[in-house]
Amino acid sequence: MPSVQDLIDRLESEAESDADPETTPDVGIIMGSDSDLPTMEGAYDALDELGFAEQTDFTDAPDSRFTYESYVVSAHRTPELMYAYGETAAARGLDVIIAGAGGKSADLPNMTASIAYPIPVIGVPVQEKSVDSVIGMPTGAPIVAVDAGKSFNAGLSAAQVLAREHDAIEERLIAYHEDLKGGVADVSADLHDLGIDGFRER
Q: Which residues of the chain form contacts with ligand RP5 (CB under 6 A)?
A: 32-33, 35-36, 74, 101-103, 126
Q: Is 17 annotated as a binding residue?
A: no
The nearest distance, CB 149 to ligand RP5, in angstroms, is: 11
The nearest distance, CB 93 to ligand RP5, in angstroms, is: 25
DSSP state of 138: P
Q: Is 56 exposed, middle or buried (0-12, 13-18, 19+ CB in 10 A)?
A: exposed
- 82 vs 162, beta carbon nearer ligand RP5: 82
The nearest distance, CB 44 to ligand RP5, in angstroms, is: 16
Beta carbons of 135 and 106 less than 8 angstroms apart: no
- Provide CB contacts within 8 A for 67, sequence distance 6+: 25, 26, 27, 52, 53, 54, 55, 61
- 109 vs 155, beta carbon nearer ligand RP5: 109
The nearest distance, CB 35 to ligand RP5, in angstroms, is: 3
- 27 vs 82, beta carbon nearer ligand RP5: 82
Q: Is 200 annotated as a binding residue?
A: no
The nearest distance, CB 72 to ligand RP5, in angstroms, is: 9
Beta carbons of 82 and 111 less than 8 angstroms apart: yes
Helix (H, G, I), strand (E, B) or coil at 144: strand
The span from the CA of 126 to the CA of 93, in Å, is 26
- 23 vs 33, beta carbon nearer ligand RP5: 33
Beta carbons of 85 and 112 less than 8 angstroms apart: yes
- 94 vs 106, beta carbon nearer ligand RP5: 106
Q: Is 92 annotated as a binding residue?
A: no
Beta carbons of 102 and 40 less than 8 angstroms apart: no
Cite the annotated binding site by residue number.
33, 36, 77
Cite the annotated binding site for substrate by residue number.
33, 36, 77
